Amino acid sequence: MLRRMTFAGLLTVAAALLWGSDLVRSGAEVGLQLCLYSVLPSLFPFFVLSSLLLSLGFAESLGRLLFPVMNALFHLGGNGASALALGLIAGYPSGARAVSRLYEDGLCGKEEAEHLLAFCNNCGCAFFLSFLGGECFGSAAVGVRLWLIHVLSALCTGILLRPKRTLSRDAAPATAQTVSFAAAFTAAVQSGFSSFLSVSGFVLLFSVLLQPMKAAFGSTPLLGMFELFSGAAALDGSHRAFVYAAALSAWGGLSVHAQSAAFFSAAGLSGKWYFRGKLLQSAISAAVAAALTF
Please report whether residue 201 resides in a domain.
yes
Q: What is the C-alpha to C-alpha distance for residues 189 and 205, in angstroms, rounded to an integer? A: 24
Neighbours of 292 (CB within 10 A): 13
Q: Which domain holds residue 105?
A: 22-293
Which amino acid, residue 107? L
Count Cα atoms within 13 angstroms, Cβ side, for 260: 33
Closest residue by Cα to residue 77 from 112, 118, 122: 112
| Model pLDDT, residue 110 | 94
Look at residue 5 and tell me if it is in a domain.
no
Residue 102 pLDDT grade (very low, low, confident, very high; cuts 50, 70, 90): very high
- Helix H, strand E, coil C: the string for the chain is CHHHHHHHHHHHHHHHHHHCHHHHHHHHHHHHHHHHHHHHHHHHHHHHHHHHHHHCCHHHHHHHHHHHHHHHHHCCCCCHHHHHHHHHHHCCCHHHHHHHHHHHCCCCCHHHHHHHHHHHCCCCHHHHHHHHHHHHCCCHHHHHHHHHHHHHHHHHHHHHCCCCCCCCCCCCCCCCCCCCHHHHHHHHHHHHHHHHHHHHHHHHHHHHHHHHHHHHHCCCHHHHHCCHHHHHCCCCCCHHHHHHHHHHHHHCCHHHHHHHHHHHHHCCCCCHHHHHHHHHHHHHHHHHHHHHHC
Average the pLDDT over each of 25-39, 69-83, 109-123, 179-193 and give the range with the smallest value: 25-39
Is 80 exceeded by the pLDDT of residue 101? yes
**What's the average model confidence in pLDDT over 212-223?**
78
CA angle 186, 198, 112 (to 5 degrees): 80
**172-203 pLDDT tens trace:** 444 445 678 888 888 889 888 888 888 888 88
Domain-embedded: residue 281: yes
2, part of any domain: no
- Does residue 274 form part of some domain? yes
| Total domains, the chain | 1
Q: How confident is the model at residue 120 (pLDDT cuts 50, 70, 90)?
A: very high
Is 153 a residue whose pLDDT tops 70?
Answer: yes
pLDDT at 286: 96
**Is 88 part of a structural domain of the chain?**
yes
Query: Considering the domain boundaries, does residue 167 fall inside one?
Result: yes
